[in-house]
A = this chain, B = another copy of it.
Amino acid sequence: MPGSEIALSPEESHHLLRVLRACPGDALRVFGDGREFAASLVRSQRGIATVALEPRLEPPPPPRVALWPAVPFLKGGRTEFLVEKLTEMGVAGIIAYSAARDVARPGQDKAQRLQRVVLSASKQCERADLPALVIAPTLAAALGAAPGTAHRVVLIERSESQRLGEVAAILATPASPHPAIVFATGPEGGFDPAELEACGPFAAASLGPRILRADTAPLVAAAVILHAYGEF
Contact = CB atoms under 8 A, between A and B. Distances in A.
Interface of A: 60-61, 84-85, 88-90, 124-127, 163-165, 207-213, 216, 219-221, 223-224, 227-228, 230-232
Oligomeric state, in copies: 2
A232 B89 contact: no
Nearest to A58: B209
B90 A232 contact: no
A211 B124 contact: yes
B60 A227 contact: no
Contacts of A125: 210-213
A208 B61 CA distance: 10
Nearest to A209: B60
Given A223-B223, A224-B227, A208 B88 contact: no
A197 to B, nearest CB: 21
A132 B127 CA distance: 36
Interface-centre pick from A85, A88, A232 (highest chain B CB count, 10 A): A232
Contacts of A209: 60-61
B210 A88 contact: yes
Given A60-B210, A208-B231, A227-B227, 8 more contacts: A85-B219, A124-B211, A163-B230, A219-B223, A220-B232, A221-B232, A223-B227, A227-B228
